[in-house]
């Protein structure tokens, strides 16, 4: 066993010993099928802490010829597949952790990444294979070719964090080009690749870099978080797996509410890193965001392409943003639009996504369907869960240095002042302004869209209110209820939404169904806010009432006129 050659199965043995181990060996069957079809080059890009390295250790334990891994894999999912014995422990395996190697290069400061990798491999090959007639003056491909020729065993490359040189040399295209040339010498070299390489499996955060719109390593079959293919069922943890891990340790419902919500293809999953830490520590926390610098998120949002910061406010308010993902150049510095930054945030794991469905397009125009609905590269981006929402909400402060966020927060502060003052005209105008700024016409098409708008409008007060939706109370279900947190001076507020009816009808429904009856304390004033949207005219209407509830009956203290904008 060496540092690069023959990594063996000890790391996988350690993974198996973990009481929280989840069997992901079924993915080996998928990779074997690809190998049998002659598709030997695979690149999988996923956000940080999604189990990429664990999977890598599983794979090289299976393929590495320096060990017998039967005892480890027997009884696991892969052992039930017909290909189980076909490829097991058959290949000379080379493992390269490119993040570590890149750090070494930067610390040594006397040779580039290609020279460092080639020299490191050559030195170890000469030490491990002293009887094969290897010559120190040979280039690395000649050394590797000789090993294969004499042993009769092909090479299987595993590159962890393959994109580290791309990310760490983000502003040095020459260094990136040298590194990509190294990969091409192994994986886009007709003589070497076809004759000596059995397979290559690369994993990283970013998809393969594009050069002039084309993949820099076009022979790889590429799988990403946006297009995971047969990897989708093996990414992250799923509901039944997390439920089992939680037994006797933590409340599954609470953990689900906090962590679930990531997407791979059509599958939803939990971030395994966050789940494992929550279970081990027996408490919820913001484990995934704290595993890397939050400055990255802030730095990207400060770019503010095409109203990016306003889009982020919509996301924090619970909305979804249409994103076209295909124009992203797969690096961290070349951006030309808001879509590029949002696509990067999906690849980094700060955002998740949803495919556009027929239901989403019910009220879209034919032009919108053609431009977005049927386009395979268009998705809805969203904040996946409460763990990430807490990180985005940290941006909503006046010290963030983001002018659009500051402007929006000031507008939200003013909105509550206008609501308390029963200024229904100003409130209706605020809702209309938000609608115009944050929603394409066809995407604002039902009461759920209106609900999202209200959440967005009052976003400055998330730290002052508990926001509840579809709350059973009295004789019905209240749409949105804002309950002041302990010590707050704000009034409770009940918002009723109507679509193509009237704001008066909304207020009447609150009173008729006594939605306020569930409030904990009688003898207090409550704000009733009725909101209606007319899809034919595009107008928002608002009416506000301040009532006093004594526990038995309501007395209207003051109410506004119904106003539209």
**What's the pLDDT tens digit per position in 461-474?**
777 788 888 777 65
1-14, pLDDT tens digit by residue? 779 999 999 999 99
342-348 average pLDDT score: 92
Residues 147 and 244 in one domain: no
Task: Specify whether the backbone of 562 is left (phi greater than 0), alpha (psi in -120 to 50) or beta.
Answer: beta
Q: Residue 543 falls within a domain, yes or no?
A: yes
Helix (H) and strand (E) counts in the chain: 22, 19
Last residue of a domain, one of 229, 259, 279: 229
Residue 168 domain-assigned? yes
Domain match, 209 and 246 both: no
DSSP string over 471-495: EEETTEEEEEEEEEPTT--PPPEEE
The reported pLDDT for the residue numbered 441 is 55
283/135 same-domain check: no
- The whole-number pLDDT of residue 519 equals 66
Q: Residue 399: pLDDT above 70?
A: no
Residues 6+ apart with CB under 8 A from 379: 226, 322, 323, 325, 346, 353, 354, 355, 356
Whether 276 and 221 share a structural domain: no
Same domain, yes or no, for 49 and 183? yes
Spatial distance between the Cα atoms of 316 and 393, rounded to a whole number of angstroms: 7
The mean pLDDT value for 520-527 works out to: 72
- Tell me what pLDDT residue 439 has: 64
**Residues in Cβ contact with 360 at an 8 Å cutoff, skipping those fewer than 6 apart:** 373, 380, 443
Please state which of the ranges 155-159, 275-279, 446-450 shows the lowest mean pLDDT: 446-450
Q: What is the CATH number of the domain that holds 57?
A: 3.40.50
On whether both 136 and 275 belong to a single domain, the answer is no
| pLDDT of res. 404 | 74
User: Last residue of a domain, which of 229, 244, 269?
Assistant: 229
Q: How many domains does the chain have?
A: 3
Q: Are residues 457 and 514 in the same domain?
A: yes
- Residues 56-61, mean pLDDT to the nearest whole number: 96
Written as one string, the DSSP assignment of 232-298 is GGGSSB-HHHHHHHHTTTS-HHHHHHHH--EEETTEEEB-HHHHHHHHHHTS---TTGGGS-THHHH
Mean pLDDT: which of 196-205, 370-379, 401-410, 456-465 is highest? 196-205
Predicted confidence (pLDDT) per residue in 200-246, tens digit: 999 999 898 877 667 888 899 999 999 999 999 999 999 999 999 99
SS3 content of the chain, % helix, strand, coil (to 5): 45, 20, 35
Considering the domain boundaries, does residue 352 fall inside one?
Answer: no
518: DSSP letter: G
Q: Is 261 found in the same domain as 207?
A: no
Q: Look at residue 334 and tell me if it is in a domain.
A: no
Both 99 and 210 in one domain: the answer is yes
Q: What does the chain come to in residues? A: 565
Q: Is residue 423 part of a domain?
A: no
Task: Output the CA–CA distances (angstroms, integers) from residue 101 to 8, 41, 96, 98, in the order listed.
Answer: 19, 21, 8, 5
Identify whether residues 240 and 276 lie together within a single domain. yes
Find out whether 219 and 187 touch, Cβ atoms under 8 Å.
Answer: yes
Residue 144: per-residue pLDDT: 97
Same domain, 220 and 244: no
Same domain, 142 and 259: no
- % of the chain with per-residue pLDDT over 90: 49
On whether residue 424 sits in a domain, the answer given is: no
What is this structure's pTM? 0.84
- 37-51, 317-331, 506-520 — most confident range: 37-51
Residue 105 pLDDT:
87
Residue 344 lies in a domain: no
Domain range holding 467? 438-564
Q: How far is CA 472 from CA 45, 368, 482, 511, 526, in A?
A: 44, 37, 14, 14, 17
pLDDT score recorded for residue 521: 61
Alpha-carbon distances, residue 465 vs 317, 454, 460, 488 (angstroms): 14, 14, 10, 8
Residue 351 belongs to some domain of the structure: no
Q: Which of 291, 313, 334 is the last residue of a domain?
A: 291
Cα separations in angstroms, 408 against 108, 402, 411, 418, 439: 47, 10, 5, 15, 15
């Amino acid at each position: 066993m060496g540092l690069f050659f023959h990594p063996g199965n000890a790391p996988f043995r350690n993974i198996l010993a973990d009481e929280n181990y989840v069997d992901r060996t079924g993915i080996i069957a998928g990779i074997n099928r690809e190998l049998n079809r002659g598709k030997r080059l695979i690149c999988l890009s996923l956000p940080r802490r999604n189990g990429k390295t664990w999977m890598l250790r599983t794979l090289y334990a299976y393929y590495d010829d320096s060990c017998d891994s039967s005892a480890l894999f027997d009884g696991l999912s892969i052992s039930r597949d017909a290909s189980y014995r076909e490829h097991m422990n058959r290949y000379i395996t080379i493992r390269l952790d490119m993040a570590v190697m890149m750090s070494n290069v930067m610390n040594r400061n006397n040779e580039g990444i290609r020279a460092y990798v080639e020299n490191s491999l050559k030195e170890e090959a000469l030490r491990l294979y002293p009887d094969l007639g290897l010559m120190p003056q040979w280039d690395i491909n000649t050394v590797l070719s000789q090993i294969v020729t004499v042993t009769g065993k092909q090479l299987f490359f595993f590159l962890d964090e393959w994109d580290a040189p791309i990310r760490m040399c983000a502003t040095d295209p020459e260094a990136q080009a040298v590194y990509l040339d190294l990969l091409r010498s192994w994986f886009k070299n007709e003589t070497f690749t076809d004759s000596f390489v059995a397979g290559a499996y690369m994993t990283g955060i970013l998809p393969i870099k594009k050069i002039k719109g084309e993949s820099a390593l076009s022979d790889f079959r590429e799988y990403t978080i946006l297009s995971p293919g047969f990897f989708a069922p093996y990414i992250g943890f799923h509901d039944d797996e997390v439920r089992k891990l939680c037994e006797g340790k933590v409340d599954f419902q609470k953990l689900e509410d906090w962590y679930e919500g990531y997407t791979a293809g059509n599958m939803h999953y939990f971030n395994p890193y966050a789940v494992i830490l929550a279970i081990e520590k027996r408490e919820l926390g913001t484990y995934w965001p704290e595993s890397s610098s939050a400055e990255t998120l802030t730095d990207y949002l400060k770019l503010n392409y095409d109203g990016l910061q306003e889009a982020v406010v919509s996301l924090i308010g619970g909305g979804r943003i249409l994103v076209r993902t295909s124009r992203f150049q797969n690096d961290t510095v070349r951006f030309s639009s808001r879509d590029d930054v949002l696509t990067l945030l999906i690849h980094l794991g700060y955002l998740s996504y949803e495919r556009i469905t027929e239901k989403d397009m019910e009220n879209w125009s034919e032009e919108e369907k053609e431009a977005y609905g049927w386009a395979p590269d268009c998705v809805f981006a969203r904040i996946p869960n409460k763990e990430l929402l807490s990180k985005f909400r940290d941006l909503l402060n006046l010290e963030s240095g983001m002018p659009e966020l500051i402007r929006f927060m000031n507008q939200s502060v003013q909105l509550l002042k206008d609501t308390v003052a029963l200024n229904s005209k100003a409130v209706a105008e605020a809702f209309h302004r938000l609608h115009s700024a944050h929603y394409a016409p066809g995407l604002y098409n039902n009461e759920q869209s209106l609900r999202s708008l209200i959440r967005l409008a009052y976003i400055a007060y998330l730290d002052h209110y508990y926001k509840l939706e579809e709350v059973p109370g009295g004789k019905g279900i209240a749409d949105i209820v804002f309950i002041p947190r302990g010590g707050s001076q704000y009034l409770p507020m009940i918002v009723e939404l109507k679509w193509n009816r009237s704001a008066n009808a909304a207020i009447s429904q609150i009173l008729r169904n006594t939605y306020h009856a569930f409030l904990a304390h009688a003898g207090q004033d409550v704000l009733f806010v009725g909101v209606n949207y007319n899809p034919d005219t595009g107008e928002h209407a608002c009416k506000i009432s301040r009532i006093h509830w004594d526990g038995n009956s309501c007395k209207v203290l003051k109410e506004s006129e119904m106003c539209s904008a």
